[in-house]
């Protein structure tokens, strides 16, 4: 008999417990209770978010693959599979292993589909680097990503890092991975065919992360110490062998289904594979390879030991699969078989310890959650420019912004990642988006992650729309057509109505923007309870986006290439200082509304830029984001291998800070040869995109004038030094 305290500790409500008793027609065994608790947790069953997530669009220009471990699109004969997932709470407790196992988990989701992982990205958020624990977290997370990513030989090609106090006490580690496969050779995550065998491959099972998924992910944690033993350890060497063994096994054609053991390990794989195939499964736990001899059945079912796979193998072909796994020195064992009664039956030494309808495990109850507009919004949306003093020296302000860790070069980080292995990386980290070519074709994949969570804090709906628009803009700047989205939704406690309001509005923002741009959301992940005793994080709906480049000769990067090129601005400069990096860094304010976003204008600017790049007219393209026009221009000058200056002549009646640092959306800076400018003008006119020639490249300074008054006059060397060295100095200070 189970008492209240036990199921409540496992995260189940009284109503849910009653429902379980109704489903089973009896009291659950401890193993069954544990299985329900993880399958019905937010991490696996999405009971709180499902109603909103189903609004996300599923169709776009390319055929989509949705519903397996990772989603994707089909381009010609190639399936491009990708997904982003959070590993926030484990990283906050043990940054190196937390981040490492995050990378390992997302990569397993990719090769489980039969796709070879070809690139990783990650979106990281920490509290201010003034705090020693935040610094420890950043170093540990970067160390974990390099430790795991470099060893398995999947290049870490891009991502983003932001710092804000709201993440102090709850950092975010969102890892994204992309893989490719022949479209006819994808694997499914299901068990089918009564009598087929269920095999276990990979590392042995230990007590790692037991209950991690329900306990770690469902409580605001105040006492890290107690939860420490549930952290898992990553073994990238085994995972590298597992990638090769899995892909070899799938290539035999004998694999009916396969799923990686991530959150909730065996519970999740057995029930979800059976449910997806409308079958059942008989499992004998004694056959599971294990590290510790005295494990309880529920411990084996809950273990989150890493680098493990569950395979459904055609009867009679088990020796073929065994041979492949043994070649790679990996454990492989038949642990059960597929049945046709729809029941997941778990035995220990022949004795049944759990017997549950697979569907009842995987169909978690779905809740409508109460929501309420947060009280802080009215207060914080006020912004009166007249109360903000205009800077006397814009040079100093620009240098300060270039040194802000949110804007400064992330070289210290990405140089620790092997971003070139697999010899596909055409655009290295440090430009608007990363580009990897697809060997054997003329095509390439561009990828980026994006979210300005400060905008989402000020205006969740529009902030989320901007995240989508900006990700698309980043891809366009590399010459790619935006194709599909994965999202990683990081929010506070959904049981608090103001937090859930943020979630609801962000999801609706993503839905509306993705529908407008015809971008399907093919995969994703929800991470709730991102809170520390100080409160919730900023709402952070991280957008991972993938775009397609048709011709590898037409790839563009953000930095100026030649002297005497014409500099063009597509889009409009407006007064949008709300939520800007300028207000935060220079005036210490997080106020105002998020920048305005006109989706039609955004589309016209992107189409004009993309067509110009694809016609070979553009030498560089860079989007204006944090820090506004001045920072974007500075980056065009200093972020390339060769640094090139520019002189910009503007003609506006704005205040200097508005003109230089406003974060108006839908702006792209292009550079081109003199003779291409008029062709770009025609293309812009065709799409209805505002076009303006704003200056010329050349020299060893960045000069920005408005109405003939010099606002910025800085040497490239000074800007380059500040931008390149700031992050490292902050970390090492």
**Among residues 151, 251, 320, 731, the one that binds another protein under rule CB under 8 A:** 151
3-state helix/strand/coil string of 205-258:
ECCCCCCHHHHHHHCCCCCHHHHHHHCCCCCHHHHHHHHHHHHHHHHCCCEEEE
Nearer to another protein, 153 or 195 (CB): 153
CA proximity to 275, closest of 346, 362, 188 = 362
Rounded Cα–Cα distance for residues 581 and 442 (Å): 39
Binding to another protein (CB under 8 A): which residues in 515-574?
552
**Total interface residues for another protein by CB under 8 A:** 44
Closest separation in Å from C-beta 439 to another protein: 7
Nearer to another protein, 205 or 726 (CB): 205
Closest separation in Å from C-beta 663 to another protein: 31
3-state helix/strand/coil string of 43-102:
HHHCCCCHHHHCCCCCCCCCEEECCCCCEEEEECCEEEEEEEEECHHHHHHCHHHHHHHH
Give the DSSP per-residue string, 346-377: EEETTEEEEEEEHHHHHS-----------THH
Nearer to another protein, 235 or 581 (CB): 235
Residue 124, judged by CB atoms within 10 A of its CB (0-12, 13-18, 19+), counts as buried
Q: Is 349 left (phi over 0), alpha (psi -120 to 50) or beta?
A: left
**DSSP category for residue 675:** G
Unique residue bearing structure tokens 């096994």: 249
Nearer to another protein, 66 or 93 (CB): 93
Closest separation in Å from C-beta 299 to another protein: 11
| Rounded (10°) CA dihedral 52, 54, 56, 59 | -170
Closest separation in Å from C-beta 445 to another protein: 14
The stretch among 79-87, 143-151, 595-603, 669-677 that binds another protein (CB under 8 A) is 143-151
Nearer to another protein, 15 or 420 (CB): 420
**Among residues 63, 291, 323, 518, the one that binds another protein under rule CB under 8 A:** 291
Non-local CB neighbours of 389 within 8 Å, separated by 6+ positions = none
Closest separation in Å from C-beta 420 to another protein: 5
Binding to another protein (CB under 8 A): which residues in 241-270?
241
Nearer to another protein, 426 or 631 (CB): 426
**Among residues 76, 292, 373, 674, the one that binds another protein under rule CB under 8 A:** 292
Binding to another protein (CB under 8 A): which residues in 406-425?
414-423, 425
Return the biggest CA–CA distance within the chain.
86
Where in the sequence numbering do the catalytic residues fall? Answer: 43, 87
Instruction: Write the interaction track for another protein spanning residues 46-85; mark x where CB under 8 A is met and - where it is not.
Output: ----------------------------------------
**Among residues 23, 55, 133, 150, the one that binds another protein under rule CB under 8 A:** 150
Unique residue bearing structure tokens 């390990």: 265
Sign of CA dihedral 287, 288, 290, 293: negative
Closest separation in Å from C-beta 288 to another protein: 15
Q: State both tokens at 576.
A: 């949008």
Instruction: Write the interaction track for another protein spanning residues 205-244; mark x where CB under 8 A is met and - where it is not.
Output: -xxx-------------------xx-x-x-xxxx-xx---
Nearer to another protein, 148 or 167 (CB): 148
Rounded Cα–Cα distance for residues 468 and 454 (Å): 15
Closest separation in Å from C-beta 111 to another protein: 14
Buried b / exposed e over 219-250, threshold 16 CB at 10 Å, is: bbbeeeeebeebbbbbbbebbbbbbbbbbbbb
Nearer to another protein, 146 or 449 (CB): 146
Unique residue bearing structure tokens 């039609």: 600
Closest separation in Å from C-beta 430 to another protein: 11
Instruction: Write the interaction track for another protein spanning residues 86-115; mark x where CB under 8 A is met and - where it is not.
Output: -------xx--x------------------
Q: State both tokens at 604.
A: 């016209």
The answer to whether the CB of 502 falls within 8 A of the CB of 374 is yes
Closest separation in Å from C-beta 146 to another protein: 5
Binding to another protein (CB under 8 A): which residues in 425-484?
425-426, 428, 437, 439
Residue 379, judged by CB atoms within 10 A of its CB (0-12, 13-18, 19+), counts as exposed
Nearer to another protein, 304 or 487 (CB): 304
Nearer to another protein, 318 or 418 (CB): 418
The reply to whether 305 sits near another protein by the rule CB under 8 A is yes
Closest separation in Å from C-beta 110 to another protein: 16
Instruction: Report the chain's C-alpha Rg in angstroms.
Output: 26
Nearer to another protein, 236 or 391 (CB): 236
Nearer to another protein, 48 or 240 (CB): 240
Bridge partner residues of 85 (DSSP) = 175
**Among residues 329, 340, 682, 713, the one that binds another protein under rule CB under 8 A:** 329
Nearer to another protein, 152 or 586 (CB): 152
Closest separation in Å from C-beta 683 to another protein: 26
Closest separation in Å from C-beta 560 to another protein: 17
Buried b / exposed e over 453-462, threshold 16 CB at 10 Å, is: bbbbbbbbbb
Q: Is 383 left (phi over 0), alpha (psi -120 to 50) or beta?
A: beta
The helix-helix angle for 460-477 and 599-614 (nearest 10°) equals 10
Rounded Cα–Cα distance for residues 146 and 261 (Å): 22
Q: What are the angstrom distances between the C-alpha of 331 and each of 57, 242, 308, 612?
A: 40, 10, 9, 53
Rounded Cα–Cα distance for residues 433 and 628 (Å): 18
Closest separation in Å from C-beta 726 to another protein: 18
- The arrangement of strands across the sheet holding 331-339 comes to 255-260, 308-313, 197-202, 331-339, 280-284, 343-348, 351-357
Residue 100, judged by CB atoms within 10 A of its CB (0-12, 13-18, 19+), counts as buried
Rounded Cα–Cα distance for residues 308 and 265 (Å): 8
Instruction: Write the interaction track for another protein spanning residues 374-393; mark x where CB under 8 A is met and - where it is not.
Output: --------------------
Q: State both tokens at 374.
A: 């947060």
Q: State both tokens at 346.
A: 């778990």
Pairing of strands 172-182, 197-202: unpaired
Phi, psi of 350 (to 5 degrees): 85, -15
**Interface ranges with another protein (CB under 8 A):** 93-94, 97, 146, 150-153, 203, 206-208, 228-229, 231, 233, 235-238, 240-241, 291-292, 305-306, 328-329, 414-423, 425-426, 428, 437, 439, 552
């Amino acid at each position: 008999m189970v008492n209240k305290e036990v199921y409540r500790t496992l995260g189940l409500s009284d109503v849910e417990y009653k429902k379980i008793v109704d489903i089973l027609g009896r009291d659950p065994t401890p193993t069954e209770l544990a299985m329900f608790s993880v399958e019905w947790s937010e991490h696996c069953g999405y009971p709180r978010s499902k109603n909103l997530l189903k609004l996300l669009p599923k169709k776009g220009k390319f055929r989509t693959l949705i519903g397996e471990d990772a989603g994707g699109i089909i381009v010609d004969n190639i399936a491009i599979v990708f997904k982003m997932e959070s590993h926030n709470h484990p990283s906050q407790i043990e940054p190196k292993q937390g981040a490492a196992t995050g990378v390992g988990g997302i990569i397993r989701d990719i090769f489980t589909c039969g796709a070879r992982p070809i690139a990783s990205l990650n979106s990281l958020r920490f509290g201010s680097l003034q705090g020693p624990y935040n610094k420890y977290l950043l170093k540990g997370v970067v160390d974990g990503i390099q430790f795991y990513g470099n060893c398995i030989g999947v290049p870490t090609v891009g991502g983003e890092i932001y710092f804000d106090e709201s993440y102090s006490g709850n950092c975010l580690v969102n890892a994204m991975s992309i893989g490719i496969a022949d479209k006819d050779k994808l694997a499914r995550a299901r068990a089918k065919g009564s009598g087929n065998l269920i095999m276990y491959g990979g590392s042995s099972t230990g007590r790692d992360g037991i209950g991690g998924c329900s306990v770690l992910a469902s409580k605001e944690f105040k006492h890290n110490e107690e939860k420490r033993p549930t952290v898992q350890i990553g073994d990238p060497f085994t995972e590298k062998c597992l990638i090769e063994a899995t892909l070899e096994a799938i290539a035999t054609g004998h694999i009916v289904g396969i799923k990686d053991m991530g959150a909730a390990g065996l519970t999740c794989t057995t029930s979800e594979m059976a449910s997806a195939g409308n079958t059942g499964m008989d499992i004998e736990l004694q056959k599971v390879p294990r590290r510790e001899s005295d494990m309880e059945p529920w411990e084996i079912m809950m273990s989150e030991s890493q680098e493990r796979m569950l395979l459904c193998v055609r009867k009679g072909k088990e020796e073929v699969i065994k041979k492949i796994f043994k070649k790679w020195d990996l454990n492989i064992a038949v642990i059960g078989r597929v049945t046709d009664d729809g029941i997941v039956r778990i035995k220990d030494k022949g004795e049944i310890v759990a017997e549950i309808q697979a569907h009842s495990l995987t169909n978690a109850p779905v809740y409508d959650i109460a929501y309420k507009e947060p009280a802080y919004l009215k207060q914080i949306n006020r912004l009166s420019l007249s109360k903000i003093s205009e800077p006397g020296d814009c040079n100093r302000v620009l240098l300060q912004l270039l040194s802000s860790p949110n804007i400064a070069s992330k070289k210290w980080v990405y140089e620790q990642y092997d971003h070139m292995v697999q010899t596909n990386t055409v655009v290295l980290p440090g430009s608007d988006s990363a580009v990897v070519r697809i060997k054997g074709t003329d095509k390439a994949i561009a990828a980026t992650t994006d979210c300005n969570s400060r905008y989402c804090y000020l205006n969740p709906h529009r902030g989320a729309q901007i995240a989508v628009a900006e990700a698309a803009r980043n891809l366009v700047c590399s010459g790619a057509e935006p194709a599909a989205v994965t999202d990683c939704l990081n929010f506070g406690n959904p049981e608090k109505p103001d937090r859930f309001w943020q979630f609801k509005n962000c999801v609706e923002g993503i839905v509306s923007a993705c529908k407008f741009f015809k971008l399907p959301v093919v995969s994703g992940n929800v991470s709730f309870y991102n809170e520390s005793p100080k409160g919730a994080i900023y709402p952070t709906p991280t957008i991972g986006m993938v775009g397609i480049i048709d011709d590898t000769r037409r790839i563009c990067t953000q930095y100026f290439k030649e002297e005497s090129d014409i500099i063009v601005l597509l889009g409009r400069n407006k007064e949008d200082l709300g939520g800007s990096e300028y207000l935060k860094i220079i005036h210490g304010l997080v106020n105002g509304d998020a920048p305005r976003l006109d989706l039609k204008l955004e589309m016209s600017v992107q189409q004009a830029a993309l067509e110009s790049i694809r016609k070979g007219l553009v030498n560089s393209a860079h989007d204006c984001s944090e820090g506004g026009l001045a920072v974007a221009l500075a980056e065009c000058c200093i972020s390339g291998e060769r640094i090139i200056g520019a002189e910009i002549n503007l003609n506006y009646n704005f205040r200097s800070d508005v003109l230089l640092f406003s974060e108006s959306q839908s702006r792209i800076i292009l550079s081109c040869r003199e003779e291409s400018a008029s062709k770009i003008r025609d293309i812009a006119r065709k799409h209805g995109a505002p076009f303006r020639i704003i200056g010329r490249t050349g020299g060893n300074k960045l000069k920005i004038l408005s109405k003939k008054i010099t606002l910025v006059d800085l040497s490239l060397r000074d800007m380059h030094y500040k931008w390149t060295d700031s992050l490292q100095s902050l970390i090492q200070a």
